Amino acid sequence: MTSILAKKPLRIIPRLDIKGPNLVKGIHLEGLRVLGQPHDFAKYYYENGADELFFQDVVASLYGRNSMSEIIQKTANEIFIPLTVGGGIRNIEDITKVLRCGADKVALNTAAMGNKDFVRQASEKFGSSTIVVAIEIVQETDGRYLAYTDNGREYTGVDAVEWSEEVVELGAGELVITSVDREGTGGGPDLSLLEKIAERVGVPVIAHGGVGKIDHVTDLFDKTQVDACAIASMLHYNLIHKNKVQRSLSCNEGNVEFLKKNIGFKNIDLIEINEIKSELEKHNFFVRN
Amino acid sequence: MREVIIVDFNLGNLHSVKKACEVCNIKAKISSQRGDIEKAEALILPGVGAFGEAMSNLSKLNLIDSIKGFVDSGRPLFGICIGLQLLFSESSEFGLTKGLDLISGKVEKISFENQEIYKNFRIPFIGWNKVEFKNKSTLLDHVESGNYFYFVHSYYARLEISSDLLASSMYGDLQVTAAIERNNIFATQFHPEKSGNSGLQIYHNWKNKYNLN
């Protein structure tokens, strides 16, 4: 009895990286492949068990543009689960705009690092539960975990665990912890990093980066106290492999060779959300299924 | 034309509530005007955030008496999340704050009897939880007891009158008031506009029960 009750509700969150009009996927947040139209993937995930969706505009903070509005609007009109949007959000006006397009939460990273007061102002104005802070983390050769910005490109020298605690103090309602070292590799999440952060903060922690096998997900929830797992490769490649999404492409953004050649998927289990959840239930975890 | 008014008191994001109304064919307008509220066909009181700030915003906008008067007139009100909590007598969030006092009871911080077992349960709780029906209502038509709904909250409401309870859910060892109904008042702690088809069904049921628009 106790053991079942003691399992907290967990979430599976498809993560959609967006470049221009396309859904893309990279490795270590670099080398982006075009996978298709974000809306097709989002709708499929909504209809097939996603607990939330996470959209990240992967170049917005680099080029200073914000091209997500159209994609968010189109998605929000048909999708009635929480939608978090990150990438290129610099000020209160940007947050207002993104929420008006239909997002429920925004994820801040670069702008939060540049101006800590932004996190405080944003959570005061929109409520903590609307403000997610995304932290992109690289492990240094001496073992330290440091926070990076601009989609894992810019060194800050800031200790990632301390930064996690600080942004929660400033009002962040949730954290997305990305291991840049693991992201896109399918080699498994960085459990020691995730547990370090999950045990230090009181707010929900979303793990991102490295999940490539179903065992990685059960392991993640077994060995850390994180509350949710953001998944990209396993879910996206599964849909492409099963031809569940159109391969209509806008070729002006990113590398489409992958889709044209139908290259294989190294190290990645191809899987549906409800298959992941069934496996979690077998391990006595509490998920919506 | 009579309209459903989504009360805007500068807390949280109302667009998703409006969108859910649209797909359920409920003509709704977002407003913080006394006049709109007083002549509304029905009211939705949504929002996320802090109880104290919510009450102080309602007070600054001079809406407290309008909302109470509206409920007295017998027209339907639908509270969501902080909109459920505001209906209660008082909240212990940041000292003691008085609520709208339309439902007897108190809003308190989530806490567990057995803190050791539930120490990894987060506050706020953000996620999906099973909702069990405790009473009958057409507002729960075509939804099953045990279906999942999406919650975001650090506080929960404790009812004084158990017949007001429509549905509840368990978070750790805490029984959380998930939905209440008392005469023309209906409210959910979860976000039906973010709970997929089950959630949209709740909007449909509310529209049907009161023949809205």
Is-catalytic flag, A52?
no
Give the Cα separation of A53 and A214 in Å (integer).
19
CB-based contact A37:A23 (threshold 8 Å): yes
ipTM of the complex: 0.94
- The mean pLDDT of B187-209, rounded to a whole number, is 98
Give the Cα separation of A57 and A66 in Å (integer).
8
Give the Cα separation of B124 and B108 in Å (integer).
13
SS3 for B68?
Answer: helix
Residue with tokens 């601009």: A150
- When the pLDDT of each residue in chain A is averaged and rounded to a whole number, the result is 90
pLDDT score of A1: 41
Give the Cα separation of A36 and A22 in Å (integer).
6
Q: Is the four-CA dihedral B165, B176, B124, A175 of positive or negative sign?
A: negative
Domains in chain B and their CATH numbers?
Answer: 4-209 (3.40.50.880)
Facing residue for B11 by CB, picked from A5, A127, A204? A127
- Identity at A34, one-letter amino acid code: V
Selected catalytic residue, list A51, A136, A183, A190: A136
CA gyration radius for chain B? Answer: 16
pLDDT score of B213: 83
Question: Cβ–Cβ contacts within 10 Å for residue B114, how many?
Answer: 12
Domains in chain A and their CATH numbers?
Answer: 2-282 (3.20.20.70)
- The mean pLDDT of B24-39, rounded to a whole number, is 96
Q: Check CB contact of A204 with chain B, cutoff 8 Å.
A: yes
Interface test with B, best of A11, A72, A80 (most B CBs within 10 A): A80
pLDDT score of A252: 52
Residue with tokens 């440091």: A146
Residue with tokens 């919510």: B54
DSSP β-bridge partners for residue B179 = B167, B188
Q: What is the per-residue DSSP string for B87-138?
A: TEEEE-TTS-EE---SEEEEEEE---SSTTTTTTS-SSEEEEEEEEE-S--G
Using alpha carbons, list the distances in angstroms from residue B129 to A84, A153, A216, B146.
19, 38, 24, 9
pLDDT score of B126: 96
Facing residue for B13 by CB, picked from A104, A227, A288? A104
pLDDT score of A30: 80
Give the Cα separation of A5 and B122 in Å (integer).
14
Which residues in chain A are contacts of B20 at CB distance < 8 A?
A: 80
pLDDT score of A2: 43
What is the number of CB-based contacts under 8 A between chain A and chain B? 91
pLDDT score of A188: 96
Beta pairing, strands A105-108 & A30-36 = unpaired
Cα B101 to its chain centre, rounded Å, is 14
- Identity at B185, one-letter amino acid code: I
DSSP β-bridge partners for residue A206 = A176, A228
- When the pLDDT of each residue in chain B is averaged and rounded to a whole number, the result is 95
- Identity at B144, one-letter amino acid code: E
Per residue in B121-174, pLDDT (tens digit) is: 999 999 999 999 999 999 999 999 999 999 999 999 999 999 999 999 999 999
CB-based contact B37:B70 (threshold 8 Å): yes
Give the Cα separation of A259 and A255 in Å (integer).
9
Residue with tokens 């339907």: B76
Cα of B169 to nearest chain A Cα, Å: 12
pLDDT score of A89: 92
Beta pairing, strands A228-231 & A9-19 = parallel
Among the residues of chain B, which ranges form H helices?
A: 15-23, 34-38, 51-60, 64-72, 82-85, 196-209
- Identity at A164, one-letter amino acid code: S
Task: Quote the tokens at residue B112.
Answer: 């567990």
pLDDT score of A192: 97
Give the Cα separation of A50 and A69 in Å (integer).
22
State what percent of residues in chain B have pLDDT above 90.
Answer: 87
The DSSP secondary-structure symbol of A87 reads S
Task: Look at residues B84, B68, B79, B75 and name the one whose alpha carbon lies nearest to residue B34.
Answer: B68
- Identity at A57, one-letter amino acid code: D
Q: Check CB contact of A249 with chain B, cutoff 8 Å.
A: no
Task: Look at residues A55, A53, A59 and name the one whose alpha carbon lies nearest to residue A69.
Answer: A55
Task: Look at residues A135, A106, A131, A105 and name the one whose alpha carbon lies nearest to residue A119.
Answer: A131
Pick B12 or A15 by higher pLDDT.
A15
Q: Check CB contact of B200 with chain A, cutoff 8 Å.
A: yes
Which residues in chain B are contacts of A227 at CB distance < 8 A?
A: 122, 126-127
pLDDT score of A63: 57
The C-alpha angle with vertex B14 and arms to B10 and B17, in degrees rounded to 5, equals 150
Q: Which residues of chain A have pLDDT under 50?
A: 1-4
- Identity at A255, one-letter amino acid code: N
Q: Check CB contact of A207 with chain B, cutoff 8 Å.
A: no
